[in-house]
Amino acid sequence: MRGWTIGVATMALAAPLAAWGQLQTPRSISMQRAPEGWRPAVFVCDAIDGDRVLVLSAPDKARRAMLSVFARPGLAGQQTPVRIGAGDAGAGQIWYPLLDGAGQSTGAVHAVNPGMVDPPATTPAIVGVRWAGHENVCRFMPQTRILGVTARRSIQITQTPTNGYRYRSYNADSNLPELPQAGAGHDTRASLTIDNGRLVDQRGGRRVFEFNNAGYVYRVLASVDTAKGGGGVQVWRDGRMVLAEPFVAYTAALQP
């Protein structure tokens, strides 16, 4: 099989990420593809109650960032400059206001205390984003290894206690109902689920997970190197690649 080439376009952080509490975790990275190349993000919110994907860029020293909101399918997007306000915590929950240039609240990010997540969270515990008058519920599962979005679907890789790595894809043109989850999890019924996946490559800062299903081989790839972002999903049949969709944004755990 031919390998997937991770993109090498880079964009340095304007300033090192400060301590953002539940907005980030040292256990993972988030990346967003931009015209100038890949750039670090704080989180990727794959909304399970609509057709939106929200990505918050890494803030500068003045807590200024860019909120990108994409519409699916196709992921046509718009960007709005915001400033991240101080978190307002309570009972294991914390809200970070998103402020406009005049300091007025225009939205908020909803996070949960990682201690409430069992098994432990491997990606930022972001469960909601209030924006444009809508409460977006973010897809979030403990033990996530990759959560990525393409123009046509979302891809989630998690580790399970009994089935190794689990692949789930969520097609953007499907009506996928929310499923009850324990703890702080949020998820929907998947368009496709495959268990017993394997980590087949972790060289050069990339993760490659492989799954077999009815004669097809699914490969999900993501870089965990902020200087070399990129990833996506491939489907192979009889040694021939029949589908390849690059990520527009993704979160990946450093833990394999």
Residue 105 CA to residue 97 CA, distance in Å, equals 6
Q: What is the pLDDT of residues 67-92, one digit of tens each?
A: 999 998 888 889 999 999 988 877 67
Query: How would residue 43 be classed by pLDDT, with cut points 50, 70 and 90?
Result: very high
Full domain range(s) for residue 103: 21-253
HEC readout, the chain: CCCCCCCCCCCCCCCCCCCCHHHCCCCEEEEEEECCEEEEEEEEEEECCCCEEEEEECCCCCCEEEEEEEECCCCEEEEEEEEECCCEEECCEEEEEEECCCCCEEEEEEEECHHHCCCCCCCCCEEEEEECCEEEEECECCCEEEEEECCCEEEEEEECCCCEEEEEEEECCCCCCEECCCCCCEEECCCEEEEEEEEEECHHHEEEEEEEECCEEEEEEEECCCCCCCEEEEEEECCEEEEEEECCEEEEECCC
6, part of any domain: no
239, part of any domain: yes
60, part of any domain: yes
8, part of any domain: no
Q: What is the pLDDT of residues 142-192, one digit of tens each?
A: 999 999 999 999 999 999 888 799 999 999 888 899 998 877 899 999 999
94, part of any domain: yes
The whole model's pTM is what? Answer: 0.90
How many distinct structural domains can be found in the chain?
1
124, part of any domain: yes
14, part of any domain: no
Q: What pLDDT, on a 0 to 100 scale, did the predictor assign at position 232?
A: 98
Pick the more confident residue, 105 or 72. 105
Percent of the chain clearing pLDDT 90 (strictly above): 62
**Residue 8 pLDDT > 50:** no
**Residue 16 pLDDT > 60:** no
179, part of any domain: yes
Query: How would residue 9 be classed by pLDDT, with cut points 50, 70 and 90?
Result: very low
**Residue 10 pLDDT > 60:** no
Q: How many CB atoms lie under 10 A from the CB of residue 144? A: 21
Q: What pLDDT, on a 0 to 100 scale, did the predictor assign at position 22?
A: 57
What is the bridge-based pairing of β-strands 187-188 and 105-112?
unpaired
